[in-house]
Amino acid sequence: MSTSKVTYLGQLRTECTHIQSGDSYVTDAPVDNNGKGEAFSPTDTVATGLANCMFTMMGIKAESMGIELSGATAMVTKTMAANPRRISKIEVIFDLPLVDAKSRKILEHTANTCPVHYSLHPDLERVVHFNWK
C-alpha cells in the first residue's frame, strides 16, 4: 500500500495526502527558488521531519518512563547549499521539561537514533541542542 499521494497543483505547489488518514498539506517552492514561500517547501518538510521523528521517538520512550513531554517545542533551521542545490545543515533546538540526568541521557540518545536521522545523507550537518528547563 502506498504511503502518500502527491498532486501537482501548478504554480510550483503540491498537495500531499496521507493515504491511511486522508490528512493533507500543501507545499510551495521557496521565494529563493521561484516560489511564493506561502507554505512549507519540500526541503522544509525534510528538515522539519527530523524534529518530528526525534520527538516521536522521545515521546515513545518518555511514555514508557512515565515522563510527560506535552508542550515541549523544537525550533528547526534549515541551511541550503548550491551546486547541487541541497540541504547542507539542519539545526534543531529542543525546549523540554526538566528531568533527571539519567532520563535526559536516555531521551537524548533516543532522539539521536531516530529513523530520519539515520536516513539523511551523512554529509548533511546536523546540530541538535537539548534545553532542559
Q: What pLDDT does residue 35 have? A: 93
Cα 126–127–128 angle (5° rounding)? 115
**Which domains are seen in the chain, by residue range?**
4-33 (no CATH), 42-132 (3.30.300.20)
Distances (CA, A) of 39 to 31, 35, 88, 123: 10, 10, 21, 27
pLDDT value for 76: 98
pLDDT tens string 79-129: 999 999 999 999 999 999 999 999 999 999 999 999 999 999 999 999 999
This model's pTM is above 0.85: yes
At position 115, the amino acid (one-letter code) is P
Cα–Cα distance, 33 to 16 (Å, whole number)? 20
**Cα-based angle 99, 101, 102 (whole degrees, multiple of 5):** 100
Instruction: Identify the pLDDT of residue 48.
Output: 98
The CA-based angle 118-100-114, given to 5 degrees, is 10
Confidence (pLDDT) at 4:
98
- Predicted confidence at residue 9, as pLDDT, reads 97
Which strands form 13-18's sheet, in the order they lie side by side?
4-10, 13-18, 24-28
Residues 21-66: pLDDT tens digits?
999 999 999 999 999 999 999 999 999 999 999 999 999 999 999 9
